[in-house]
Amino acid sequence: MKTLEIKHFLAAADLSADEIRKLFDLARAFAPHVRRGETIPLLQGKTVVNLFFENSTRTRISFELATRKLGGNTLNFATSTSSVSKGETLIDTAKNIEAMGPHCLVVRHSSAGSPTILAHTLAVPIVNAGDGFHEHPTQGLLDGFTIEEKLGTIAGKRVVILGDIAHSRVARSNIHILKKLGASVAVCGPPTLLPPKPEILGVDYAYRPEELLREADVVMALRIQLERQNRMQIPSVAEYSRIWGLSRERAKLLKPEAIILHPGPINRGVELDPEVADGPRSVILDQVFNGVITRMAVLASVCVPERLKELEKWMPKSTGGSRG
Q: How many CA atoms lie within 13 A of 58 on its CB side?
A: 19
Among 63-77, 204-218, 233-247, 256-270, the range scoring the smallest mean pLDDT is 233-247
Gap between the Cα atoms of 294 and 137, Å rounded? 11
Strand-pairing partners, residue 51, are 77, 107
Residues 6+ apart with CB under 8 A from 114: 53, 90, 107, 131, 132
Tell me what the mean pLDDT of segment 287-310 comes to: 91
pLDDT at 1: 37
128 phi/psi in degrees, rounded to 5: -80, 120
Give whole-number Cα distances, 50 to 61, 73, 110, 165, 315, in Å: 9, 11, 15, 26, 26
What pTM was computed for the model? 0.92
Tell me how far apart the alpha carbons of residues 260 and 270 are, in angstroms, rounded to a whole number. 15
Q: Please give the average per-residue pLDDT across 213-234, as a whole number.
A: 78
CA–CA gap between residue 11 and residue 257 (Å, rounded):
31
The answer to whether the 12-136+287-319 and 137-285 domains have the same CATH topology is yes
> What value does the mean pLDDT take over residues 147-152?
97
| Structural domain spans, the chain | 12-136+287-319, 137-285
Region of 56 please: left (phi>0), alpha (psi -120 to 50) or beta: beta
Confidence (pLDDT) at 16: 96
Amino acid, res. 127 = V
- In this predicted structure, the answer to whether residue 258 has a pLDDT above a threshold of 80 is yes
Please report which confidence band the pLDDT of residue 30 belongs to, taking 50, 70 and 90 as the band edges: very high
| CATH-assigned architecture of domain 12-136+287-319 | 3-Layer(aba) Sandwich (3.40)
- What band does 273 get if pLDDT is binned at 50, 70 and 90? very high
Give which of 24, 283, 282 is closest to 140, Cα–Cα: 24
Closest CA relative to residue 277, chosen from 298, 263, 257, 292: 263
Mind listing the pLDDT tens digit for each residue in 67-126?
Answer: 999 999 999 987 765 666 667 899 999 999 999 999 999 999 999 999 999 999 999 999
Q: 296 pLDDT band (50/70/90 cuts)?
A: very high
State how far the Cα of 99 lies from the Cα of 83, in Å rounded to an integer. 16
Q: What is the mean pLDDT of residues 314-321?
A: 51
**Fold that domain 137-285 belongs to in CATH:** Rossmann fold (3.40.50)
Partners of 289 in the β-ladder: none
pLDDT of residue 309: 73
pLDDT, position 226? 59
Which residues face 285 on adjacent strands? none
Q: CB under 8 Å to 166, separation ≥6 — which residues?
A: 133, 189, 192, 193, 194, 195
Identity at 120, one-letter amino acid code = H
pLDDT above 50 for 320 = no
What percent of the chain has pLDDT above 70? Answer: 89
Instruction: Kindly list the distances between the CA atom of residue 99 and the CA atoms of 89, 114, 189, 207, in Å, as whole numbers in the listed order.
Output: 15, 19, 45, 50
- List the helix and strand counts (H, then E) for the chain: 11, 9
Q: Average pLDDT for residues 284-302, to the nearest whole number?
A: 97
Structure confidence at residue 10 (pLDDT): 98
Which pLDDT band holds residue 321 (cuts at 50, 70, 90)?
very low
